[in-house]
Amino acid sequence: MNAIMPKLSRRVFVVTAAAAGGGFALGFHVPGALRTAHASAKGPEVTAWVVIEPDDTVTIRVARSEMGQGTLTGLCQLVAEELECDWSKVKAEFASTNENIKRKRVWGTMATGGSRGIRDSQTYVRQAGAAAREMLVAAAAARWKVAASECEAQKSLVMHKPSGPTLRYGELAGDAAKLEPPKSVKLKDPKDWKVAGKAVPRLDIPDKVMGRPVFAIDTRLPNMAYAAVKHCPVFGGKAGSVDEAAIKDMKGVLKVVHLGNAVAVVADSYWRAKQAVEKLPVTWAETEKNAKVSSASIREFLKSGLGAENIPLARNDGDAKAELAKAAKIIEAEYEAPFQNHAPMEPQNCTASVTADRVDIWVPTQNSEASAAAAASASGIPLDKIEVHKTMLGGGFGRRGAFQEPVREAVLIAKAAGRPVQLIWSREEDMQHGRYRPVSMSRQRAALAADGLPVAWTFRLSGHSIMASVRPDSIKNGVDLHFLAGLYDGTYAVPNFELSYAMRNTHVPVGFWRAVNSNQNAFYRECFVDELAHAAGQDPYQYRRKMLQHEKGRRDLAVLDAAAKKAEWEKPPAAGVHRGIAVYASYGSYAAGVVEIAMDGGEVKLRRVVIALDSGHVASPDGVVAQIEGSVVWALSATLFGEITIRDGRVEQSNFHDYPMLRLDRMPVVEAVLVPSGGFWGGAGEPAVPPVAPALVNAVFAATGRRIRSLPLTRHGLVKA
């Protein structure tokens, strides 16, 4: 079994097998999957990515995070493919963040987001596998004193072809490791792949079904205490006076730590810490301005952006305004989408151990280098003395990359407490102090030509820019293209098209929420296109086809056709069944969806969702199917119920009872159609999300004749939470 088996690491606190076997963990353990490179694989490092033990076990190092998206397995498949090793002997381990910093980033970036885990690193990890293979072959050739060209590697063996002897990789690794890596290597054509591109069991699943401690929140260190935290409920506020005396006699309470915008209590168990922090009287210092903000005031603020003058244009083909001025009939609609929270099942947490000259942290992170930087700045200890112990993430979805507040807090708390501390944000803190998907609004106006297709279209967005706070330098000439994902580079052929964005930043922190701005943008565009098709009296599938009849639109067209075919769009649906369709390109891939619903007493019942995806190449097909299934659920939760609202400057929702999730009973049939067309590497974790909301909302129109222009559907009485 290719499990990532826990094993003794250099910092040996535990043997996790005890926990797996039904007994009790021996008091201390560190998550099994956090074996970092310097602490674990002992055999010779053939390349930085590949360690081979004498018994032929191949340890492949993974620099990206595993948050459920299957990247760990997919990357290993790519390395193993070029390495020509026996897949059953492959293990994975996370590369050490500390060594990456010291070794001039030999493993490249460790950030994991934007559906980039595989597509951005596939070239160099495949090259690393190929280089290791060539070095093993060269080592064998040297031993046999023959030409390397006479030798061939296969299934962890090198064979001298003319005479037939073989050497195992385990026998060659030591010699190979001493060789200079080749300057250039030739990669296989994906059509020759044997391991990559095939459905293989994921490496991380056995540990996960056994309940082994693979998550950061499972970390148990000697002398470790626990911390619970509460943040100023109004964003931007600070903790004022704190009445520590009120809790000092509570059992197990050790310390109160001030964190600026938050206060933490350290205790000997998490439950005691949580009880105490809830009881702790804190006077918050918040600005009056922020404390007055509500969802209604935010809505007015955004609305002012829809008609604002002198907004720079992100795209301006032809002269849409002039054409609209001439048009006899204009179709116009305003759409809006609310804030959303990530709410990963593993709440924000970080365990920190801080000594005078070293910091160790265990954290679910999508960017361990950013975590290390946050730990360094919070502790004042240099970056090369920080180790981030990477663990499996209990979901990420964009919450745990650019924003590292739990790391900062845990380090400060552990430093103040003088012992290792595990900080856990309660679900309520996680819900009310997120980095939300931005609120946004749009106004579209279009005129149709005689053939029914749009001749002119203006598209104005208004809303909160993520880049304005995260990467302001990416905003050029006042245009934030990131906010316009999928629109400024959209492929529909419209002769006169104008796109603009009025930035309206609120006091609510925003961030990258799986599929980010493509969520809202797909909802706006693809529902509006449905309105246009309806106005033109045309079938919404055929209408889209007509707008994609050009070279740039060929991949969108192909996925649209694939989804329609699978869903049998050309046949009328069964009685009582209604359908909607949508297409959207994001994260380097192309996706289209068909959603089938039925109505039951005025309520939407989900029946079936078909998604076609062209991601170019596919490293791990079953992993991509799983990502499509997960993307559909993600989008459905948001479309049906998801809404973070603001009142008195703070988030109103607090837990899953008022921020509900799709559950099994409403789960539709999901059919994933993979149509990789080759020649490029697109993402897989996000692109299936954007088409779902518009396809569903278009199905609601087909069923009811109602145009739903704001989400979620619970707002419209179409779904009961």
Q: Which of residues 659-718 bind another protein (CB under 8 A)?
A: 661-665, 667, 669-670
Assess 20 for contact with another protein (CB under 8 A).
Answer: yes
> Interface residues for another protein in 593-632 (CB under 8 A)?
622, 626, 629-632
Among 161-169, 267-275, 471-479, 698-706, the segment contacting another protein (CB under 8 A) = 267-275
Residue closer to another protein by CB (options 54, 206) is 206
Residue closer to ligand FES by CB (options 373, 661) is 661
Q: Choose from ligand FES, another protein, none: what does 106 bind? Cβ within 5-8 Å by kind.
A: none
How far apart are the C-alpha atoms of 131 and 74, rounded to whole Å?
19
How far apart are the C-alpha atoms of 520 and 694, rounded to whole Å?
9
Total residues interacting with ligand FES, rule: CB under 6 A:
3
Of the residues 123, 223, 241, 269, which one makes contact with another protein according to CB under 8 A? 269
Q: Choose from ligand FES, another protein, none: what does 213 bind? Cβ within 5-8 Å by kind.
A: another protein
**What are 708's two structure tokens?**
């739903």
Q: How far is the CB of 398 from ligand FES (least distance, A)?
A: 15
Give the max Cα distance, the chain: 84
For residue 183, the 8-state DSSP code is S
Q: How far is the CB of 407 from another protein (least distance, A)?
A: 19
In a 13 Å sphere around the CA of 268, the CA atoms on its Cβ side amount to 5
- Return all residues near 228 (Cβ < 8 A) that are at least 6 apart: 264, 265, 267, 270, 273, 274, 276, 277, 278, 423, 424, 426
Q: How far is the CB of 345 from another protein (least distance, A)?
A: 4
Q: How far is the CB of 230 from ligand FES (least distance, A)?
A: 19
Answer whether 419's CB lies under 8 Å from 257's CB: no
Residue closer to ligand FES by CB (options 393, 508) is 393
Question: Residue 216: which of 41, 75, 400 has the closest Cα?
Answer: 400
Assess 11 for contact with another protein (CB under 8 A).
Answer: no
φ, ψ of residue 152 in degrees (nearest 5): -140, 140
Across 412-453, the runs of DSSP E, i.e. the strands, are 421-424, 440-448
Q: Choose from another protein, ligand FES, none: what does 202 bind? Cβ within 5-8 Å by kind.
A: another protein
Q: Choose from ligand FES, another protein, none: what does 220 bind? Cβ within 5-8 Å by kind.
A: another protein
- Helix ranges (H only) for 418-456 are 427-432
Assess 190 for contact with ligand FES (CB under 6 A).
Answer: no
Total residues interacting with another protein, rule: CB under 8 A:
71
Q: Choose from ligand FES, another protein, none: what does 657 bind? Cβ within 5-8 Å by kind.
A: another protein
Query: What is the edge-to-edge ordering of all strands in the sheet holding 386-390?
Result: 253-258, 262-267, 225-231, 421-424, 349-354, 359-363, 386-390
Residue closer to another protein by CB (options 24, 180) is 24
> Interface residues for another protein in 459-518 (CB under 8 A)?
none
Q: Choose from ligand FES, another protein, none: what does 626 bind? Cβ within 5-8 Å by kind.
A: another protein
- Residue 28: strand pairing partners: none
Answer whether 318's CB lies under 8 Å from 496's CB: yes
Residue closer to another protein by CB (options 622, 652) is 622
Q: How far is the CB of 238 from another protein (least distance, A)?
A: 27
Q: How many CB atoms within 10 Å of residue 476?
A: 9
Residue closer to ligand FES by CB (options 524, 634) is 634
Full DSSP string of 45-88: EEETTEEE-TT--EEEEE-S--SSS-HHHHHHHHHHHHHT--GG
Q: Choose from another protein, ligand FES, none: what does 79 bind? Cβ within 5-8 Å by kind.
A: none
Q: Choose from another protein, ligand FES, none: what does 522 bind? Cβ within 5-8 Å by kind.
A: none
Measured CA distances, 59 to 51, 90, 323 (Å): 5, 6, 62
Q: How far is the CB of 250 from ligand FES (least distance, A)?
A: 23
How far apart are the C-alpha atoms of 461 and 490, rounded to whole Å?
15
Of the residues 46, 48, 58, 67, which one makes contact with another protein according to CB under 8 A? 67
Handedness of CA 244, 249, 250, 256 (dihedral sign): positive
How far apart are the C-alpha atoms of 421 and 53, rounded to whole Å?
36
3-state SS, residue 43: coil
Residue closer to another protein by CB (options 175, 207) is 207
- Return all residues near 320 (Cβ < 8 A) that are at least 6 apart: 456, 457, 458, 496, 497, 498
Q: Choose from another protein, ligand FES, none: what does 69 bind? Cβ within 5-8 Å by kind.
A: another protein
Assess 68 for contact with ligand FES (CB under 6 A).
Answer: yes
How far apart are the C-alpha atoms of 574 and 227, rounded to whole Å?
56
Measured CA distances, 311 to 225, 318, 329, 393, 459 (Å): 53, 17, 25, 41, 12
**What are 240's two structure tokens?**
């004022």
Q: How many CB atoms within 10 Å of residue 304?
A: 13
> Interface residues for another protein in 89-148 (CB under 8 A)?
none
Q: By Cβ distance, which residue is nearest to ligand FES?
A: 345
Among 95-103, 341-349, 370-378, 501-509, the segment contacting another protein (CB under 8 A) = 341-349
Q: How far is the CB of 68 from ligand FES (least distance, A)?
A: 5
- Residue 390: strand pairing partners: 363
Residue closer to another protein by CB (options 227, 503) is 227
Assess 74 for contact with ligand FES (CB under 6 A).
Answer: no
> Interface residues for another protein in 383-422 (CB under 8 A)?
392-397
3-state SS, residue 134: helix
Q: Choose from another protein, ligand FES, none: what does 421 bind? Cβ within 5-8 Å by kind.
A: none
Assess 345 for contact with ligand FES (CB under 6 A).
Answer: yes
Of the residues 5, 15, 17, 599, which one makes contact with another protein according to CB under 8 A? 17
Q: Choose from ligand FES, another protein, none: what does 490 bind? Cβ within 5-8 Å by kind.
A: none
* One character per residue 286-325, x = contact with ligand FES (rule: CB under 6 A): ----------------------------------------
Answer whether 372's CB lies under 8 Å from 441's CB: no
Residue closer to another protein by CB (options 201, 260) is 201
Q: Choose from another protein, ligand FES, none: what does 584 bind? Cβ within 5-8 Å by kind.
A: none
Of the residues 88, 103, 240, 271, which one makes contact with another protein according to CB under 8 A? 271
Q: How many CB atoms within 10 Å of residue 17?
A: 16
> Interface residues for another protein in 630-649 (CB under 8 A)?
630-634
Q: How many CB atoms within 10 Å of residue 193?
A: 17
Q: How far is the CB of 609 from another protein (least distance, A)?
A: 10
Measured CA distances, 333 to 279, 465, 609 (Å): 49, 22, 26
* One character per residue 192-231, x = contact with another protein (rule: CB under 8 A): ---------xx-xxxxxxxxxxxx-xx-x-----x-----
Query: What is the edge-to-edge ordering of all strands in the sheet holding 50-52?
Result: 45-47, 50-52, 58-62, 90-94
Q: Choose from ligand FES, another protein, none: what does 593 bind? Cβ within 5-8 Å by kind.
A: none
Of the residues 395, 420, 438, 668, which one makes contact with ligand FES according to CB under 6 A? 395
Q: Given the rule CB under 6 A, which residues bind ligand FES?
A: 68, 345, 395
